[in-house]
Amino acid sequence: MSTLKKQAARGQDSQVLPKVPVPPLKQTLDTYLKCVQHLVKDEQFKKTKTIVEKFGAPGGIGEVLQKKLLERRDKTANWVYDYWLEDMYLNNRLALPVNSSPAMVFPKQTFRDHKIALRFAARLIRRVLEYKSLIDARMLPVDVARGQLAGTPLCMKQYYHLFTSYRYPGLKTDTLKVDMNTASSTSEHMIVACKNQFFMLDVVANNKQLNETEILSQLEKIMKMSENAEEKHPPFGILTSDDRTEWAQAREALIKDQTNQDSLALIESSICVVCLDEPCGLTPSDTNRALMMLHGGGCERNGANRWYDKSMQFVVGMDGVCGVVCEHSPFEGIVMVQCSEFLMKHVTGSPLRMVQPSSARALSPPRRLLWKCNSHIQALLGASGDRLQRLVNNLDMDVFTFETYGKEFIKKQKMSPDGFIQVALQLAFYKCRGRLVPTYESASLRRFQEGRVDNIRSATPDVLAFVKSMADEGATFTDSEKMKRLKDALKAQTDYTIAAITGMAIDNHLLGLLKVSKELKMERPDIFCDETYLANNHFILSTSQVPTTVEMFCCYGPVVPNGYGTCYNPQPHHIVFSVSSFWENTETSSAVFVKALNESLLEIGDLCNRSAAAASQPTESSQAAS
């Protein structure tokens, strides 16, 4: 082992990070009131204020719950982890595609023929194995925070979940199983999906991992086998695209048969799924590629060529539409990016060259997974397919690259790029709807043990003041007044960001208090039954920064029926936005939002330019003096 690798390994093993704090109760309640006041009607706010004050009063319920949370913090590595995981993912009954699983979209690849596409897939699989070896040996260098409060080491645990997790559907709640024991997690097979059939690809033969040539030859065999119409099984993968309760019920029907049980066990214990997709038949625009990653295009295209419960699904389309789809519960988008970048840097780093067939061992063909179907299961497959089709028809996606400037311009204004983009998103929404709405921005908690995320509530009172000065009251404000409001909005956003990444945001804390009250079998406290609380946990704008250093972008769906999912990737001189919404909702339109966003970014950029130009003009008195 090289010294560098040893250091990296030691770094991960000896990582002792602080525990996520429990914020002071009063601080959270005060912030909560500040976050919601301008988003609800005055009458409603008065009611909320009374409820919150009662909750937080000395000797009130809040104190009892807070005490329990502090005890929980002492007893656990991360007091909020399980509460958050259940609330954010496992209890959610919605289908994983679009509603929960994000995707990374790779640049469109050019494959002259199937053979070249399979070579790309073989190389990708080799890199996955290399990356997995680094993870298993705990040899990935420890990530260090960048941006705000840069320099602190970050928790690496999410990486260990990449190839060892499986999300089991449940009737009421799902179960996430993670095998963290590196010795036993030496899974030696992947699942390859091809033409809706599933194959077991052993990646080790006679104690030696397959090389690229051998993997390619196995993939070629898989492709051939998938074409055999007589051995074709129904598209069982479609079941995993369904609502979680529906899938759990279907799974119960499946496991009555041993053959199905065996096939499920092989998928569940695999390293990952590799989906060899048929050409989708669409222009490979950014938007269409994003759609194909998020839902596969339904049964008519590649929607059944997936197994959504598995954490990592690598998609290689024969038409060059490629990317990764992730089951989100075991890790955050940032970890998915690190893995994707490692793969892409090596897969596309050198030309896809011919591999020497002589270096390949003769291996027995991969095994096709077998299924037993009956009329009941056949009906379930049909129903799942219909529901996926509805989701496919409903997703309104618009991937937009803003080219006028990127984060370098924003930094030159001495402003935080993330804050600036959040402010622009608020202005865009205000332009569309004349009001602000509860907004979610994910903030990493990886500075803490087992840290995941908390929420930056970006629709602050300060940003409301700014967007009003830009939109409906635009003519009555001077540039310097608008600039002052912009700076105030950015300060509020940056302050909230710093609070969130240091564990002082309010969403996890309020969730913790609610969960403790449930554990104590209390009646649900008024604060959590209040209309304000419910409305402010309905995130019409769900946003997340997922930056990359390699050309690719992340996308995901809205989290509520009347909302937008907005993922952004700030680059030095441009910004990629993936905006999603649902066609069925008449209040939203991704194209309209994108248009407003473009205008907002241009207007704020112009304001900064005008203000900078005005500041550099000599004033009248200095001119007179000179």
Residues that bind ligand COA (CB under 6 A): 146-148, 332-334, 411, 414-419, 442-444, 453, 497, 501, 544-546
> Could you tell me the smallest distance in angstroms from the CB atom of residue 279 to ligand COA?
30
Residue 267 or 443: the one with the smaller Cβ distance to ligand COA is 443
Residues 6+ apart with CB under 8 A from 273: 190, 191, 192, 193, 267, 306, 307, 310, 312, 313, 314
Residue 251 or 328: the one with the smaller Cβ distance to ligand COA is 328
Taking CB positions, which residue lies at the least distance from ligand COA?
147
> Could you tell me the smallest distance in angstroms from the CB atom of residue 550 to ligand COA?
16
Residue 298 or 333: the one with the smaller Cβ distance to ligand COA is 333
Residue 316 or 445: the one with the smaller Cβ distance to ligand COA is 445
> Could you tell me the smallest distance in angstroms from the CB atom of residue 418 to ligand COA?
3
Report DSSP state, residue 160: G
CB atoms within 10 A of CB 34: 14
> Could you tell me the smallest distance in angstroms from the CB atom of residue 382 to ligand COA?
33
Q: What is the spatial distance between Cα 13 and Cα 336, in angstroms, rounded to a whole number?
A: 21
Residue 101 or 109: the one with the smaller Cβ distance to ligand COA is 101
> Could you tell me the smallest distance in angstroms from the CB atom of residue 494 to ligand COA?
7
> Could you tell me the smallest distance in angstroms from the CB atom of residue 160 to ligand COA?
17
Element of type H or E holding 619? none
**Residue showing tokens 């008024």:** 526
Q: What is the spatial distance between Cα 225 and Cα 368, in angstroms, rounded to a whole number?
A: 8
Q: What is the spatial distance between Cα 257 and Cα 374, in angstroms, rounded to a whole number?
A: 10
> Could you tell me the smallest distance in angstroms from the CB atom of residue 15 to ligand COA?
19
Question: Taking a C-beta distance cutoff of 8 angstroms, is the pair 390, 234 a contact?
Answer: no
Q: In Å, what is the CA distance from 610 to each residue of 466, 469, 477, 486, 548?
A: 17, 16, 14, 14, 31
Q: What is the spatial distance between Cα 269 and Cα 439, in angstroms, rounded to a whole number?
A: 37
Residue 460 or 589: the one with the smaller Cβ distance to ligand COA is 460
Residue 231 or 408: the one with the smaller Cβ distance to ligand COA is 408
Q: Which of 161, 189, 328, 509 is catalytic?
A: 328
Q: What is the spatial distance between Cα 515 and Cα 521, in angstroms, rounded to a whole number?
A: 10
376 flagged as catalytic: no
Q: In Å, what is the CA distance from 176 to each residue of 89, 364, 393, 400?
A: 10, 33, 29, 34
**Residue showing tokens 């699942």:** 191
**3-state SS, one letter per residue, for 97-119:** ECCCECEEECCCCCCCCHHHHHH
Nearest C-alpha neighbor of 201 from the set 223, 180, 184, 228: 223
> Could you tell me the smallest distance in angstroms from the CB atom of residue 297 to ligand COA?
24
Q: Is 134 helix (H, G, I), strand (E, B) or coil?
A: helix
Q: What is the spatial distance between Cα 105 and Cα 108, in angstroms, rounded to a whole number?
A: 9
CA angle 241, 245, 251 (to 5 degrees): 70
Helix, strand, coil percentages for the chain (3-state, nearest 5): 50, 15, 35
Q: What is the spatial distance between Cα 347 and Cα 358, in angstroms, rounded to a whole number?
A: 22
Residue 360 or 550: the one with the smaller Cβ distance to ligand COA is 550
Q: In Å, what is the CA distance from 361 to each residue of 124, 192, 204, 211?
A: 20, 20, 12, 9
Phi first, then psi: give them for residue 545, nearest 5 degrees: -90, 125
Residue 50 or 609: the one with the smaller Cβ distance to ligand COA is 609
> Could you tell me the smallest distance in angstroms from the CB atom of residue 100 to ligand COA?
11
Write the single-letter amino acid at 420.
Answer: F
Catalytic residue annotation: 328
